[in-house]
């Protein structure tokens, strides 16, 4: 395990079939993209604390969302919109967010540093920028 401890899930979907359906077409081939509109996350109301009994109701091998949205106000979380697509042999990522964001987010302006992390359905070793991107407004 390379010195890393494995930890089981802390929460599970209340309705694992609905969560599975929301994932869309699942293709673990890194050269393929997710289905249009696929959702690889759950909200707190869509999930429940982990118990062995709930876990036993989910079939072995079933894929469930790996991210949990912790804010109650999804409108706040939706301040960042993005889409990624695979085409012509490369990934393209486009994101948008308000410039004048309020706490807990940071307003964006010249000199603001941001990082990009790509979560590729892997438990560990996600792709990320080593150095932050410095924003320059025009």
- What's 45's DSSP letter? T
User: What's the number of CA atoms in the CB half-sphere (13 Å) around residue 58?
Assistant: 22
Q: Give per-residue pLDDT as tens, 36-79.
A: 778 888 888 999 999 999 999 999 989 888 777 776 665 655 56
> Whole-angstrom Cα distance, residue 88 to residue 86?
7
Q: Dig out the tokens for 76 from the structure.
A: 């706040």
Other Cβ atoms within 10 Å of 123 Cβ, number: 9
Q: Dig out the tokens for 136 from the structure.
A: 């320059």
Residues near 12 by beta carbon (within 8 Å), at least 6 away in sequence: 47, 48, 49, 50, 51, 54, 55, 58, 64
Residues near 106 by beta carbon (within 8 Å), at least 6 away in sequence: 112
pLDDT higher than 90, residue 27: no
What integer pLDDT is reported at residue 128 of this predicted model?
59
Q: Give per-residue pLDDT as tens, 96-136.
A: 888 887 766 778 889 888 777 666 655 555 565 667 788 88
């Amino acid at each position: 395990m390379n010195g890393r401890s494995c930890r089981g899930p802390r929460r599970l979907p209340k309705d694992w079939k609905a969560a599975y359906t929301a994932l869309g077409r699942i293709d673990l081939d890194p050269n393929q993209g997710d289905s249009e509109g696929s959702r690889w996350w759950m909200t707190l109301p869509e999930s429940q604390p982990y118990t062995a009994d709930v876990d036993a109701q989910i079939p072995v091998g079933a894929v469930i969302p790996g991210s949990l949205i912790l804010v109650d106000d999804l409108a706040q979380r939706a301040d960042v919109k993005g889409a990624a697509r695979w085409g012509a042999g490369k990934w393209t990522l486009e994101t948008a967010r308000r410039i004048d964001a309020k706490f807990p987010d940071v307003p964006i302006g010249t000199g603001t540093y941001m990082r990009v992390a790509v979560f590729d359905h892997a438990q560990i070793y996600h792709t990320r920028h080593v150095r932050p991107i410095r924003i320059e407004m025009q």
